[in-house]
Amino acid sequence: MSIAGSSIRGNVKIPLSKPWIGAEEAQIAQSIVKSGWLISGPKVAEFEKRFAEKIAVRHAVAVNSGSSALLIAQQALGVQAGDEVIVPDMTFISTASSCMYLGAKPVFADIEMKTYCINPGDIKRRITKGTKGIIPVHYAGQSADMEYILEIAKRYGLFVLEDAAEAHLSEYKGKKAGGIGDIAIFSFTPSKPITTGEGGMITTNKSDLAKKCRLIRDFSDIGKFEYENLGFNFRMPEVMGGVGLVQLRKLEEAVRRRRSIAHRYTMAFEDLEAIITPFQRTENDINYQLYTIRLNLDEVTITRNQFIEALSEKGVSSRLYYPALHTQKVFTDLAISDDYPNTLEFARTALSLPIYPAMSEEEVSIVVEVVETLCSQYRRSL
């Protein structure tokens, strides 16, 4: 599949994401290694303090991954065997699979087609006597409709665990994502607005939940080799905490750059009938962790997968984030319905384009040019 007559520069390779790291991160990592203090220590504690301040919450608990954070938070919330936890059908797998390690069952709800976050209306019809809580995901750094979700949770006595893995500095009605529900989690993998390599953070305004999470992440050791409850080693290493402190100082600028690139994309694509650009309530509501578009298949003679392939041939990386979870084999024993029309439509038409803080103006221009060229080349005849 080639693009004839294009002026696009040859031999380009634009990744989907790239961590924004440099000399400062290397220096602090080296200093920590030289110090000999490698396990969780003062740098991790400072990272927790600074992160809590940035998100405007009372407590932050650093752990070794965002997925571990989901597991720990649910254990602290009392999730156990036989419980059901409602999650969006379109999200990263650990949002759903984490509760299974506690013997609970994920129950999928459809997404809504503006933000691609969980559809509050579909949450209501998934609630049963076994429902313990709701995990809304702020997809691509776009805040979910938390007001409606919190109303449902209050009515049915459910917890709300925000999966803010991608939502650093995103807001909902003036409140930072990660400080709206009972508890929340963040991820620091290399594609996120800040990275520690791996790593995650649990945030909450509830002291009792923070205390439980701190115990669970450290074997639930209440003294020295004194255990009353189940815990494990989910601690964040000291090097990751040090790198996180450096990254945290860059966070506002990282998000500003992402928003600037997203604005350029949206302005370029808004008149293309083949492209559906991301919804934005306000600029503060989304950090553009991902720039996810959908392909209007009525306007082109190419499938979404073929579109991704054509982008790749011109050196532009893209990918579907994420497939419908109810179609994944790991969940087939859960007797899940297939009534998820929005998620299936998303899975058929969506793809995410390159976006990262160090992305150059030339790289953005190349992505725009490739997308425009493909839309023109495969435009469906009237």
Across the chain, which has 382 residues, the per-10-residue mean pLDDT values are 45 92 97 94 97 98 98 98 97 98 97 97 96 98 97 98 98 97 98 97 98 97 90 97 98 98 98 97 96 97 98 97 95 80 97 98 98 96 70
Alpha-carbon span 250 to 255, nearest angstrom: 9
* Side chain identity, residue 138: H
Sheet order of strands, 84-88 included: 59-63, 200-204, 183-187, 159-163, 131-134, 84-88, 105-109
Number of structural domains in the chain: 2
- Answer whether residue 189 is part of any domain: yes
Alpha-carbon span 272 to 278, nearest angstrom: 13
- Answer whether residue 344 is part of any domain: yes
- Answer whether residue 9 is part of any domain: no
> What local confidence, expressed as pLDDT, does residue 332 receive?
84
Q: Are residues 244 and 264 in the same domain?
A: no
Q: Are residues 60 and 160 in the same domain?
A: yes
Q: Which of 227, 249, 271 is where one domain is finished?
A: 249
CB atoms within 10 A of CB 101: 14
- Answer whether residue 11 is part of any domain: no
Q: Kindly state the helix (H) or strand (E) to which residue 60 belongs, with its residue range.
A: strand 59-63
CB 375 within 8 A of CB 275: yes
Query: Is the backbone peptide bond immediately before 356 cis, with ω within 30 degrees of 0?
Result: no
Q: Are residues 75 and 138 in the same domain?
A: yes
Per-residue burial over 201-211, b if 16 or more Cβ lie within 10 Å, else e, is: bbbbbeeebbe
Residues serving a catalytic function are 192
Query: How many Cα atoms are found within 13 Å in the side-chain-facing hemisphere of 214?
Result: 17
- Answer whether residue 165 is part of any domain: yes
- Answer whether residue 2 is part of any domain: no
* Side chain identity, residue 175: K
CB 342 within 8 A of CB 119: yes
**Cα 208 from chain centroid (whole Å):** 26
User: Domain limits at 288?
Assistant: 251-377
> What local confidence, expressed as pLDDT, does residue 248 receive?
98
> What local confidence, expressed as pLDDT, does residue 6 receive?
42
Looking up residue 330, the CATH number of its domain turns out to be: 3.90.1150.10
**Cα 52 from chain centroid (whole Å):** 18
List beta partners, residue 350: 294
> What local confidence, expressed as pLDDT, does residue 279 receive?
96
Q: Which of 214, 249, 284 is where one domain is finished?
A: 249
- Answer whether residue 17 is part of any domain: no
Q: Are residues 228 and 256 in the same domain?
A: no
Q: Are residues 47 and 173 in the same domain?
A: yes
Q: Are residues 213 and 269 in the same domain?
A: no
Structure tokens at 272: 């293309």
Q: Are residues 86 and 143 in the same domain?
A: yes
Looking up residue 33, the CATH number of its domain turns out to be: 3.40.640.10
- Answer whether residue 102 is part of any domain: yes
Structure tokens at 2: 């080639």
Q: Are residues 99 and 229 in the same domain?
A: yes
Q: Which of 216, 249, 282 is where one domain is finished?
A: 249
Q: Are residues 207 and 88 in the same domain?
A: yes
Alpha-carbon span 14 to 318, nearest angstrom: 9
Q: Are residues 289 and 326 in the same domain?
A: yes
pTM: 0.95
Alpha-carbon span 21 to 190, nearest angstrom: 9
Q: Are residues 170 and 62 in the same domain?
A: yes
CB 116 within 8 A of CB 136: no
> What local confidence, expressed as pLDDT, does residue 3 receive?
41
Q: Are residues 238 and 275 in the same domain?
A: no
